[in-house]
Amino acid sequence: SRINRLNAHLIRSGVLDPADLRSWSETLYQQIDAFEGVSSIGFGTPEGHATWMIRYGGEVGYEWAIQDDQTGSQIYEYGVTPDGQIGRLPRGSYPFDATQRPWYLAGVETQDQQAWSEVFAWARATAEIPELGLGRVMPVYDESGELLGVHDTELSLSQISAFLGGLSIGEGGSAYVVDERSLMIAASVRTALAERPATRLHASQLDDPRAIAIAGVLRTEYGGIGSIDRAQDLLISADGE
């Protein structure tokens, strides 16, 4: 994403310091406030330290998280007002190691390229049911080729679904996003995408006749969506439509 490239440039130009993640808070706030389509912007280091600024659907303001030498093995989360004021006391904390998170591991594997992570459950101290999301990740290296950390720009699955729901898709049309295993990522219609935290539904398991019909045809005709390598036009009947 442009945000990852921008922050990589800010590191190389000395504006952002991977050794001082607390100093990133204002920059991350300005970015998350400017890019309304983004759920979270963050960074993790090989030492396991991390910081991010995140927006949660249905909540006012943002949340800033920080783990560094001051916090030890814990990451602390602070409320942030819409105008960027960070709360004095943390909302919560929990053990955290950035190097074990799916977004960080995906970034390390890309070797200087940008890539998408797998869908994963977000970490949050106050969450009874974790939000699911995926990250656009990018590693950044110093001049000697040593890894400085991984940039992570994330979207929540609920936010992607909300975007699809706002599209005009013909008369009564709907849109679905699945991965190569036909596990749900997003849908323009109101339907559960997971049956329990962090367990996504297969498209054939949705409470939606059209999605079930599409999944059936993809499985019987192509062996699954993972076998399709080009755009396909299909005529599918579902509930007599």
What is the identity of the amino acid at 89? L
pLDDT at 128: 66
What pLDDT, on the 0 to 100 scale, is given for residue 241?
Answer: 56
Q: Compute the 3-state secondary structure of the chain and give helix, strand, coil in percent, each to the nearest 5.
A: 25, 25, 45
pTM attached to this predicted model: 0.83
Q: Judge whether residue 23 has pLDDT over 80.
A: yes
- Mean pLDDT, rounded, for 205-228: 77
Over residues 49-84, the pLDDT tens digits come to: 999 999 998 889 999 999 999 999 999 999 999 999
- Residue 192: count other Cβ atoms within 10 Å of its Cβ: 13
Give the chain's radius of gyration (CA, Å): 20
Q: Which residue has the tokens 């997003």?
A: 186
Cα–Cα–Cα angle for 133, 137, 139, nearest 5°? 150
- Please say whether the beta carbons of 198 and 130 come within 8 A: yes
Mean pLDDT of the chain: 88
**pLDDT of res. 123:** 84
Q: Which two tokens stand for residue 236?
A: 């599918």
Q: What's the average model confidence in pLDDT over 145-166?
A: 90
Q: What's the pLDDT tens digit per position in 188-205?
A: 888 777 776 667 888 888
pLDDT above 90: residue 15: yes
Question: How high is the pLDDT of residue 49?
Answer: 98
